[in-house]
Amino acid sequence: MLTTRTITLFRPGCVDYTQAWEWMRRLVADRSAGRATDSLLLLEHPPTITLGNKARPENILITSADLVARGVAIVQVDRGGDVTYHAPGQIVGYPILKLSQHGGDIGRYVRNLEETIIRTLADCGVTGLRVPGLTGVWVNDGSAKICAMGVKLSAAGITSHGFALNVNPDLAGFAQIVPCGISNRAVTSISALLGRAIVPAEVEPILLRHFAAVFDVALEEG
């Protein structure tokens, strides 16, 4: 009889991006060395622009001085992808998983993250979908992104970074960038699509239930 794997869940609230990134790296190191089991960080960030390893500077549309004046941090990170934006009102998930124990295929892993979000959105009354050739989850026939994704796989085969699901962030923040380097598609949120206020705390239990089902794991609060 197969035993469901247990993942440690951390939900610290709103955490500065650089602090969360350092925490993520420690968890990756501990998982690589066998000092820890798989884990999932579920949190929010204050306004932050992050640049992945394929980011182009021209995809930030305002000056660094203006970003500082607005209280928006800029961080160069080691995930895949281009430029993205974090703000309160997102559910940000960072799974720290030993990939060999979850199918061993990074493409399948990303599809599973997308599936988790698609199922979560369905329970919220939103139809999410994939767009061929693009990563993340989209709505409105693919014309708007609702969940950005960017991941990293360490040399030891441990995943990090992850997804950012827009529940009710201030969407004006995305006008500061070309989100994910894609200029011809919009960014939206669950609240915008439903036309009513909804907060991450309402969506988190739904997302965690689907994450556990898709990845066939049990979540245990850390």
Q: Report the mean per-residue pLDDT for the chain.
A: 95
Give the separation between CA 187 and CA 179, rounded to whole angstroms: 8
Q: How many structural domains is the chain composed of?
A: 1
142, part of any domain: no
Candidates 14, 124, 147, 180; catalytic one: 180
Q: Break the chain down into helix, strand, coil percent, rounded to 5.
A: 35, 30, 35
What are the tens digits of pLDDT across the range 76-124?
999 888 899 999 999 999 999 999 999 999 999 999 999 999 999 999 9
Is 180 a catalytic site residue? Answer: yes
CA-based nearest residue to 72, from 158, 174, 218, 194 = 174
Q: Does the structure show a pLDDT above 70 at 1?
A: no
Q: What is the pLDDT of residue 3?
A: 60
Domain that holds residue 210: 5-116+149-182+199-221
Whichever domain contains 37, its CATH number is 3.30.930.10
pLDDT bin (cut points 50, 70, 90) of residue 14 is very high
190, part of any domain: no
Identity of residue 81:
G
Q: What is the pLDDT of residue 2?
A: 55
Identity of residue 24:
M
Contacting residues for 195 by C-beta, under 8 A, at least 6 apart: none
CA-based nearest residue to 42, from 120, 103, 153, 142 = 120
The model carries a pTM of 0.95
What are the tens digits of pLDDT across the range 182-209?
889 999 999 999 999 999 999 999 999 9
164, part of any domain: yes
H or E element, residue 110? helix 106-123
10, part of any domain: yes
110, part of any domain: yes
Give the separation between CA 98 and CA 29, rounded to whole angstroms: 11
Give the separation between CA 101 and CA 97, rounded to whole angstroms: 8
Helix 200-215 vs helix 106-123: crossing angle, to nearest 10: 140
82, part of any domain: yes
Contacting residues for 26 by C-beta, under 8 A, at least 6 apart: none
92, part of any domain: yes
27, part of any domain: yes
